[in-house]
Amino acid sequence: MDDNISPCGLDCTECEAYIATKKCDMEKLAEVAEKWNEQYGGESTAEDCICDGCTMGERLSKAHAQTCKIRICADNRGVPTCAHCEDFICEMLEGFFQFAPELEEKLRALRDELDL
């Protein structure tokens, strides 16, 4: 499994906040903050969006990763992704997949590879 796959199945290296962080592009991070504020109803700043990835770095986005219930649950259960969890697919994931159905497919495929 790639180290860049977050618990929810997102490839962190494809995340716009991660990409902007790696490029030290504060202007792009400000755009990400504005976009996420509109989408999710927050008041995040560019600094809040700085992120090294859910599983890859020390800096977690204050806009999402630090408070992500899925990431926190996986950490508490000691699993790298939800596909590794004995409770896959839980109620929390079912709600999340309403917004990101492609990640359900990705996690199911990963689970199939794990042969659980």
pLDDT tens digits, one per residue of 69-80: 999 999 999 999
Is position 30 within any domain? yes
Is position 69 within any domain? yes
List, in sequence order, every residue forming a beta bridge with 5; answer none if it has no partner.
Answer: 11
Q: What is the pTM of this model?
A: 0.84
Residue 107 confidence (pLDDT) above 90: yes
* Distance of alpha carbon 27 from alpha carbon 10, whole angstroms: 23
Is position 110 within any domain? yes
Radius of gyration of the chain measured on its C-alpha atoms: 14
| Domain membership of residue 45 as a residue range | 12-114
pLDDT of residue 54: 87
Is position 42 within any domain? yes
Is position 100 within any domain? yes
Is position 2 within any domain? no
53, 55, 66, 97 from 42: Cα distances, Å = 20, 23, 14, 21
pLDDT of residue 57: 67
Residue 56 confidence (pLDDT) above 80: no
Is position 103 within any domain? yes
Is position 5 within any domain? no
Structural domains counted in the chain: 1
